[in-house]
Structure 1
Amino acid sequence: MKLKVASYNIHKGVGLDRVCDPDRILTVLREIDADVIALQEADRRYGLREAVIPRASIDGHSPWRVVEPGHYDRARTAASMGWHGNALLVRRDIEVIEACTVPLPTIEPRGAVCVTLRLGGALVRVLGMHLDLSGLRRRAQVQAVCSHMAGHADQGHAVMMGDLNEWSPSGGALSAFVAPLRVLTPGRSFPSRRPLAQLDRIVVSDGLEVEAVGVHHSTLAAVGSDHLPVWANLRLPELGSGRPA
């Protein structure tokens, strides 16, 4: 069974042309055509923290549904799509078992969202995150999300992705992801006009086979946000194959 995942910091829908265009973001998401998408900066920062992309546009005009983490507090309102700007979209024919928020140690508002999916007979946990600008905080946040993923009785497969704000190509906070986790390198994704840094990453558990990874380049993606989306094509091992499940 194959699974395509993607991560995209949509910059609150504001492109390099300084225009807020939610439809442009949705078009980019359709270009990627992933099964599970982690969005960062999906809600406005102040006021009611409304979702950048209208829920009606997703519910009525897209193949995905918004995962509800079930956490309503000062960081999330009924008008929000995510938590601290993090949101997960899942293709409608994929079974969602549960979803939750994951608090992160930080001074500035940060958090992560996690969903457990059932694909065939396997469980896949997907976590979306947007980490701190501070290197010390990023390392502690990576340790927090890893502890969350390891704290389930039924481990299943794990995918963690988002804007990690880590400029080091392999060190820094990335070194806090330890085996059996693997940090993938889709490519340079920031800034979108002329990418220099690999800030957007995908991390997978050892039981998942990685068929391909990359950065989504298109005319709309080049101006739709200050980040380019990253993606990975994954394959779940067949049950009974002897691989971790």
Structure 2
Amino acid sequence: MTLREQSAASVRVATFNTHHGTAPDGRPALDACLRLLDDLAPDVIALQEVDRGWRRSGFADQPARYAEGLGGRALFAANLRLPAEDDPAQGGAVRGSRAAAREYGTVLLTRHPILRAAHHPLPVPHGAEPRGVQVALIDVRGVPIRVAGVHLHDGDDAVSARQAEEVLRRLAADEAAPGAPEAPEVVLGDLNAEPGRGGHRVLLDAGFADAWAIAGTGPGRTFVDPESGSGARIDHVLVRGAAIVSARVGSLVPTPSDHEPLIVEISPRG
């Protein structure tokens, strides 16, 4: 199955850490990210390290650009808000409704109807980067899919595990909401944890299946250090309540980030 081939009965989900729309050498790469998104053609994709209003990424409203590129809707969750930076091209501070802050966070992006969605903070150590989980119920061609988009803490498996436990609580709360349908559950994101560690271990213990372990071939490295060349499988698609059809890392389009996308086909009725 090529990236553009898809069964009508399957759902294509993906995760991609965008490195805030810049290449590892600092060059702007938002257009390259958009080309990659067009190639992947996902039903639902979770994006991490997304900017809005930052000098480093040309003051772009990246969530809006991603929504336009996919022809869908971007649910942006700002885990970090800082004062606005000056834009010399605008003669000073950035103007407009977002002038008060620059934002950094995650996006859930889909072409399909969003039945409901919420963003919840995750526990972090004092002084650490704020983290959150986006939980959404999405109608994909008449089939509800419950999705959690995450970017977990880096460097401490115990913190990552606590965050994954909160992700599970938020998924359970959404499932228990009045009128909530039964639905397959998919956790998408940069877990900053290799297989069997931290938050990844917690999700496996809760009955989620690792899509790459089921259907992938090879090491499945999603992160490559641009300096050392060493890599790790830290971006994951974890599935509960659906069959995993295929999994692949990478794209026909060169990846501009220090991460590769992970693309998984699932069969909700499988």
**Structure-2-length-normalised TM-score:** 0.74
Question: How far 1:26 sits from its partner (Å)?
Answer: 0.4
Give the 3 Å change call, closer, same or farther, for CA 16–36 of structure 1 in structure 2. Answer: same
Give the 3 Å change call, closer, same or farther, for CA 100–196 of structure 1 in structure 2. Answer: same
Question: How far 1:59 sits from its partner (Å)?
Answer: 4.6
Give the 3 Å change call, closer, same or farther, for CA 75–34 of structure 1 in structure 2. Answer: farther
Partners of 1:124 and 1:147 lie apart in 2 by 17
Partners of 1:227 and 1:142 lie apart in 2 by 21
Partners of 1:45 and 1:132 lie apart in 2 by 23
Q: CA RMSD in A?
A: 3.1
Unaligned runs of 5+ in 1: 239-245
Match of 1:156 in 2: 183
Q: What percentage of residue pairs aligned between the two structures are identical? A: 28
Give the 3 Å change call, closer, same or farther, for CA 74–44 of structure 1 in structure 2. Answer: closer
Query: Do the aligned residues in 2 keep the contact of 1:51 with 1:79 (CA within 8 Å)?
Result: no
Give the 3 Å change call, closer, same or farther, for CA 64–192 of structure 1 in structure 2. Answer: farther
Partners of 2:141 and 2:83 lie apart in 1 by 32
Question: How far 1:203 sits from its partner (Å)?
Answer: 0.8
For 2:237, the aligned partner's letter is I
Partners of 1:62 and 1:236 lie apart in 2 by 22
Question: In the alignment, which of 169, 183, 189 is matched to residue 222 of structure 2?
Answer: 189
CA distances 1:115-165 after superposition (whole Å, capped 9, x unpaired): 111235532111111000121110000000011111222342111111111
Partners of 1:27 and 1:203 lie apart in 2 by 25
Query: Do the aligned residues in 2 keep the contact of 1:2 with 1:236 (CA within 8 Å)?
Result: yes
Give the 3 Å change call, closer, same or farther, for CA 118–162 of structure 1 in structure 2. Answer: same
Structure 2 counterparts to residues 221-236 of structure 1, below 5 A: 221=255, 224-236=256-268
User: Which range moved further: 11-20 or 137-146?
Assistant: 11-20
CA distances 1:163-221 after superposition (whole Å, capped 9, x unpaired): 11113x3233322112432122251111176562001001111x211110110144521
CA distances 1:17-55 after superposition (whole Å, capped 9, x unpaired): 3202211110011111111110000125979x9665262
Match of 2:4 in 1: none
User: Which range moved further: 190-199 or 107-116?
Assistant: 190-199
Question: In the alignment, which of 94, 116, 122 is matched to residue 137 of structure 2?
Answer: 116
Partners of 2:67 and 2:197 lie apart in 1 by 40
For 1:137, the aligned partner's letter is V
- Aligned pair count reads 228
- Greater share of residues in strand: 2
Larger Rg, first or second structure (1 or 2): 2
Partners of 1:6 and 1:232 lie apart in 2 by 6
Match of 2:108 in 1: 88
Question: In the alignment, which of 195, 201, 214 is matched to residue 248 of structure 2?
Answer: 214
Question: In the alignment, which of 44, 58, 62 is matched to residue 53 of structure 1?
Answer: 62
Partners of 1:52 and 1:192 lie apart in 2 by 27
**Structure-1-length-normalised TM-score:** 0.81
- Work out whether 1:140 is the aligned partner of 2:172: no
Partners of 1:20 and 1:60 lie apart in 2 by 18
Q: Secondary structure, in 3 states, of the residue corresponding to 2:116?
A: strand
Match of 1:170 in 2: 196
Match of 1:242 in 2: none
Partners of 1:22 and 1:35 lie apart in 2 by 20
Q: Secondary structure, in 3 states, of the residue corresponding to 1:43?
A: strand
Partners of 2:80 and 2:247 lie apart in 1 by 36
- Greater share of residues in helix: 2
